[in-house]
Amino acid sequence: MLKVAIYGKGGIGKSTITSNLAAAFAAMGKRVIQIGCDPKADSTINLLGGEPLRPVMNYMREEDEEPEELDQIAKEGFGGVLCIETGGPTPGLGCAGRGIIATFQLLEDLRLFETYKPDVVLYDVLGDVVCGGFAAPIREGYAEKVVIVTSGEKMALYAANNISSAVRNFEDRSYARIFGLILNHRNVENETEKVQAFAEEKQIPIVGEIPRSDEIIRWEDQGKTVIEGDADSEISKRFFELAEKLLEDETERVR
């Protein structure tokens, strides 16, 4: 099973990249689970035709009980991707990171992985603060690879540095390792050079590069990933290439 956590600062495009990657894996015939680990709970919306999914934390708060069946908190989207959103506490109350930990424990109790038997699991994780809850995918062994999304913007690179430091703190415990960076272009000045310099300094490869594209925005306005909208487009090819790299690396790891 390929298990990948995708991190990056808020607003950097993690959800767009994660959902397109999920759609690419699905189009390749893989069984995929995507788990959104952001209080905004919008990670999977473009796999579900633009319809938001009820987050796990909302269910528990509104029903005052834990769900007993997976279909109460999960929904299949494009290509059969099983979509789950952790959500967060009532705004201003509680800790969002604690919500992630509670959700992961619930998914274990519901035997998510044993029941669905995925080939690929993707975690879409907010990376502005890598506290205990937001580090859960890499700290608790749920994910084995970490991909960091960044642009050439100062704060995006600052967050990428924090995330890489957090992951490396766990490397000696056989937790997740950094697979690489995805450069999600924002067309800032000297962007490629800035990210390449960061990658060389931190010794992290750039494994994917997504050009700034109106095509992605156009399909998202229709509640779709670009993979669903036009699987043969140049942008879609970037996601398929990244999916192939991840699968090839997993095959080598297993060997």
Query: What pLDDT digit, counting tens, does each position of 159-191 carry?
Result: 999 999 988 887 766 678 999 999 999 999 999
Q: What is the pLDDT of residues 122-134, one digit of tens each?
A: 999 987 766 777 7
pTM of the prediction? 0.94
- The pLDDT score that the predictor gives to residue 94 is 63
| CB distance 58 to 102 below 8 Å | no
Per DSSP bridges, beta strands 120-126 and 32-37 are: parallel
Instruction: Point out the residues that are catalytic.
Output: 9, 14, 40, 128
Give CA angle at 121 (229, 156), nearest 5°: 75
Contact predicate 148/177, CB 8 Å? no
Integer-rounded Cα radius of gyration of the chain? 17
Give me the pLDDT at residue 93, please. Answer: 63
| 3-state secondary structure (DSSP) of residue 198 | helix
Helices (H) and strands (E) in the chain, counts: 10, 8
- Going by pLDDT thresholds of 50, 70 and 90, the confidence category of residue 92 is low
- Among 58-62, 129-133, 237-241, the least confident range: 129-133
Q: Is the pLDDT of residue 244 over 90?
A: yes
Beta bridge partners, 32, equal 120
Q: Do strands 82-85 and 74-76 pair parallel, antiparallel, or not at all (unpaired)? A: antiparallel
Q: Detail the DSSP E strand segments found in 19-141.
A: 32-37, 74-76, 82-85, 120-126
Domains and CATH numbers, the chain: 2-250 (3.40.50.300)
Q: How remote is the C-alpha of 147 from its chain's centroid?
A: 8
Measured CA distances, 181 to 29, 30, 41, 103, 207 (Å):
25, 23, 23, 27, 6
